Structure 1
Amino acid sequence: MSSQLPAYDDPSDAFPHLFPPRSQSESLDEIDSRFVFDFSTYDEIDESTQRWTTWYDVEPLCRGPEPRPDWVVTSRGAVDTELGILKTGKEADAFLVERADQHDPDNGVVMVAKRYRSTEHRTFHRSALYTEGRSMKRSRDNRAVKAKSTWGRVMAAGQWVTSEWDALKRCWTLGLPVPYPVQVDGSEILMEWITADGETAPRLAQTRPDPALLGWYFEQLHEAVATMAQAGLVHGDLSAYNILAAGERLVIIDLPQVVDLVGNPQGMDFLLRDLTNVCGWFRSRGLEVDEHELFGDIISTSF
């Protein structure tokens, strides 16, 4: 013969001697805080133009260096919204993306998403010259790249994303004027959007600075190139077209082809070419500067 125990909604009903009578307020006050949490509901997103933040989809090493700027949005409830294309290029396209939490829209941020194209739709001009002195962890990957096999082309394509990401992080850590690198995810790099008066900052080539500002721009550029050289880095493709003028501040962009000044046999040639390009632009605006003199000054302080 079997018997069934009565069901109790509250343990205190079954064992009254173990649970003295308490008021409801007293019971709530004694709830362990570890078992209490807040939550918020979010609206559905438009998947044609939006995605949930990818910040937590990437490994910690794929996020920007610390300390991070206050404007970086790390909320798990943030949404990335496509705002349109910013610039097209031979190797990658740049888009504007807003990252914001639905419950905190005022603290959202607009960033640049640089997306590298697939190996079938991109060509790096004289890429072998830039990659001399670089190496991969696996020797077979190095051999594949040199042989230009199918796998080698895939690995070479990934090199450019990694190269720019590493260059941005290193330059930012050195205090150089580059966009803050927020994160890298596959072939996409999210970085700081450089603005002037609320709009995308113009390229230096598009500006007509007065003599005083022109001299100040040159001082900034001299210091930046010298700092890079002291760290063993050369931009490799520096010109007035990949320098942004954010008011009175210059910001250097487009760094996938960064060259090892010492490891690359043509590192010095790249440095002189960079200086020739920028000095030529400054001379065209009326500032008397000499790339050879600047080259000598930078080399003398770098070694």
Structure 2
Amino acid sequence: MRRGRRKFDDDEADFVKRGRIEPALSEDPDLPETGDRWSTWDNALHGPDPLPEWVRTEHGAVDTELGMLKTGKEADVYLVRRAVPDTDKVSLLAAKRYRDGDHRLFHRDAGYLEGRRVRRSREMRAMTNRTAFGKELIAGQWAAAEFDALSRLWRVGQEGGTISVPYPVQLIGTELMLEFIGDHKTGEAAPRLAAVRTDREGLEDLWRQMTEALSVLARTQIAHGDLSPYNTLVHEGRLVIIDMPQIVDLIANPQGAEFMARDVRNVANWFTARGLRVDQDELIERLSYEAGLL
């Protein structure tokens, strides 16, 4: 009997999953009285300034895992509450944990990694040959690349307001902690674009936001690399781009233009299927010009 392809939240519309999910937060020998671990803020690489006021930086903050938000081919995302005990200083975060080399299920990484280099030849050889050490380096690159891309794009969004991404709170190894996009009272994540049902006016507004976001990416000379209605959230009418570990440098990567065009077609086809007429070729040509590819 032929086994079907394993499906992930990257492919389907269900987003929030309830209940205690393993693996739990990494344990600290000096555990707090409540919660799962002390905040890891002090030992992490921090997001860009200015820090949003909701980011908890207190030494006494405690992290508590509330359940899984999303499972994907290269990482799982958990809902984490970071709070200072006995105060109202609380924030909800999305903790994205990249799998190690033996457990990742995303194997089409060669094309995305073109244009990325590491300084040491030993590390480059390990990544090229996909040794155990090389796979660990690649997992770290995914997390670092997403953290860097979100930091850059968050700054652009703050300055121009034409692209929205989750604020990257911190990075430690292969764990990336992000702004939670959704209802902070219920812990329910914002729906993905694929699950949104709206009228024509709503579709036109979402398409406008999408083209503006694509334009920002092009002018920054990067492509999302895997953009689709399944890794785009809609929160209170605002389009939020997520999942950027495979970010592609349009100049350094020889396949950059192809990745950008594929991103456009992936999202344009969704809008077209819902009755909105869009000109994919014109948009691809304009983005190529803005990226300096023409």
Q: TM-score, normalised by structure 1?
A: 0.81
State the partner residue of 2:75.
92
**Alpha-carbon distance in 1 for matches of 2:250, 2:144:** 18
Cα pair distance change 1:215/1:100, threshold 3 Å: same
| Separation in 2, partners of 1:301, 1:207 | 30
- The residue that corresponds to 1:211 in the other structure is 200
Question: What is the CA deviation profile of residues 237-271 of structure 1, one whole-angstrom value per residue up to 9, with x for unaligned ones?
Answer: 00000000102100000000000011100100001
User: In the alignment, does 2:241 pair up with 1:264?
Assistant: no
Q: Does residue 166 of structure 1 match 2:143?
A: no
SS at match of 2:89: strand
Q: Which has the higher contact order (CA 8 A, sep 6+)?
A: 2
What does residue 269 of structure 2 align with?
280
Give the CA deviation at 1:196.
5.1
Number of residue pairs the alignment of both structures matches: 255
Q: What is residue 130 of structure 1 aligned with on the other side? A: 112
User: Take 1:101 and 1:78, find their aligned partners in 2: how far apart are those partners?
Assistant: 4
The one-character-per-residue Cα deviations of 1:2-43 (angstroms, maximum 9, x if unpaired) are xxxxxxxxxxxxxxxxxxxxxxxxxxxxxxxxxxxxxxxxx9
Aligned to 1:45: 33
Matched residue SS, 1:184: strand
Give the Cα–Cα distance (whole angstroms) in 2 for the partners of residues 180 and 96 of structure 1.
15
Paired amino acid for 1:261: L
Paired with 2:105 and 2:70, the residues of 1 have a C-alpha distance of 17
In 2, Cα distance between equivalents of 1:210 and 1:151: 50
Asked whether the 8 Å contact 2:62–2:84 carries over to 1, the reply is yes
2:37 corresponds to which letter in structure 1?
A: R
CA distance in structure 1 between the partners assigned to 2:229 and 2:32 by the alignment: 44
Which segments of 5 or more consecutive residues in structure 1 lack a partner in the other structure?
A: 1-42
Within 5 Å, give how 1:29-178 maps onto structure 2: 44-46=32-34, 49-58=35-44, 62-104=45-87, 106-175=88-157, 176-178=163-165
Do the aligned residues in 2 keep the contact of 1:204 with 1:243 (CA within 8 Å)? Answer: yes
Secondary structure of 1:174's aligned partner: helix
* Contact in 2 for aligned 1:45/1:51 (Cα 8 Å): no
Partner of 2:283 in structure 1? 294
Q: Classify 1:159/1:74 alpha carbon distance in 2 versus 1 (closer, same or farther; 3 Å).
A: same
Q: How does 1:195-210 map to 2 (within 5 A)?
A: 195=182, 198=185, 199-210=188-199
C-alpha deviation, 1:197, in angstroms: 8.2
The CA RMSD over aligned residues, in Å, is 1.5
Distance 2:280 2:245 in 1: 23
Contact 2:32 2:38 in 1 (8 A): no
What is the rounded CA distance, in whole Å, between the counterparts of 1:141 and 1:161 in structure 2? 17
Say yes or no: does 1:221 pair with 2:203.
Answer: no
C-alpha contact 1:196 1:247 (8 A) present in aligned 2: no
Counterpart amino acid of 2:126?
A
Structure 1 stretches of at least 4 aligned residues deviating more than 3 Å after TM superposition: none
Alpha-carbon distance in structure 2 between the residues aligned to 1:180 and 1:197:
15
**1:44: Cα distance to partner?**
4.6
Partner letter of residue 276 of structure 1?
R
Matched residue type, 1:188: E
For 1:44 and 1:146, the matched residues in 2 are separated by 42
Amino acid at match of 2:59: R
Cα distance in structure 1, aligned partners of 2:38 and 2:284? 47
Cross-structure match for 1:12: none
Which residue number corresponds to residue 238 of structure 1?
227
Q: How far, CA to CA, are the matches of 2:195 and 2:75 in structure 1?
A: 21
Give the deviation of 1:173 after TM superposition: 1.6
Q: Which whole-Å CA distance do the structure 2 matches of 1:300 and 1:234 have between them?
A: 14
Consecutive unaligned residues in structure 2, runs of 5 or more:
1-30, 158-162
Q: 1:44 to 1:91 in 2, by over 3 A?
A: closer
2-structure distance, mates of 1:263, 1:287: 34
Contact 2:92–2:184 (Cα < 8 Å) also in 1: no
Q: TM-score, normalised by structure 2?
A: 0.83
